[in-house]
Amino acid sequence: MSTTPASRPLYRVSFLNQGKVYEVFVRKVHQEGLWGFVTLEDFVFGQRTERVIDPGEERLRDEFSGVRRVLVPLHAIFRIDEVAQEGVARIVALEGSNVTPFPFVYPAGREPKT
């Protein structure tokens, strides 16, 4: 089986970080020994040879430069998509409120009654 970059899976991961939604592209997403965290590895960013540079992607590239892996709390992840092509990594502010609720995952069978 070939492991060329074109044949390796690519994931778009959206997660909450300090009141903002981070959307990044990675090659590896998995859970390791640290319970309650998802590990993101092998970040993928656009080519630096492009003439137009997206400042949001550049900020993410700088923030994650030199980082081998990131452990994101499971409750902070909004979505994980396997995608065919890389897009633009970005940071998006949450809309509508200046208060961000603390995300919480209820244990199975203990959801609050509404």
- pLDDT value for 25: 94
- pLDDT value for 65: 86
Torsion of CA 54, 91, 41, 53, to 10 degrees: 0
The answer to whether the CB of 21 falls within 8 A of the CB of 91 is: yes
Q: What are the average pLDDT values for consecutive 10-residue runs of the chain, which has 114 residues?
A: 63 91 94 89 74 72 88 93 91 69 61 56
Q: 10-93 maps to which CATH number?
A: 2.30.30
Q: Which residue has the tokens 């994101």?
A: 72
- pLDDT value for 47: 63
pTM above 0.85, yes or no: no
Q: Where are the domains of the chain?
A: 10-93
- pLDDT value for 2: 40
